[in-house]
Amino acid sequence: MRIAPYRTTEDVIDGVVITFIDITEIKQTQKMLQESENFLDSIYQGTDLAIAVLDVNGTKDYRFVGVNMKYEEVFGVKKEVYEGIKPKQLQKYFSKEIIESIILNYDKCVDTKKKVIYEMEVPDNSGRKRTWLRTMFPLIDSNGNVFRIIAVSKNLTDIKLEEEIRQH
Residues 63 and 131 in one domain: yes
The string of pLDDT tens digits covering residues 54-74 is 999 878 889 999 999 988 888
Q: Which residues neighbour 83 within 8 Å (Cβ) at sequence distance 6 or greater? A: 64, 65, 66
We report the CATH number of the domain holding residue 114 as 3.30.450.20
Residues 61 and 3 in one domain: no
Q: How many CB atoms are located within 10 Å of the residue 108 CB?
A: 14
Residues 138 and 96 in one domain: yes
Q: Quick one: pLDDT band at residue 125, thresholds 50, 70, 90? A: low
Residues 108 and 31 in one domain: no
Q: Where are the alpha helices (DSSP H) in the chain?
A: 24-46, 69-75, 79-82, 96-112, 157-167
Q: Count how many domains the chain has.
A: 2
> Exposed (0-12), middle (13-18) or buried (19+): which is 116, by Cβ within 10 Å?
buried
- The structure's pTM equals 0.75
Residues 94 and 161 in one domain: yes
The string of pLDDT tens digits covering residues 11-50 is 888 889 898 888 889 999 999 999 988 888 888 888 889 9
Residues 52 and 32 in one domain: no
Q: How many CB atoms are located within 10 Å of the residue 41 CB?
A: 11
Residues 162 and 123 in one domain: yes
Q: How many CB atoms are located within 10 Å of the residue 125 CB?
A: 10
Residues 7 and 76 in one domain: no
Q: Which residue has the higher pLDDT, 1 or 154?
A: 154
d(CA 99, CA 91): 7
Residues 2 and 69 in one domain: no
Residues 39 and 113 in one domain: no
The boundaries of the domain holding residue 3 are 1-46
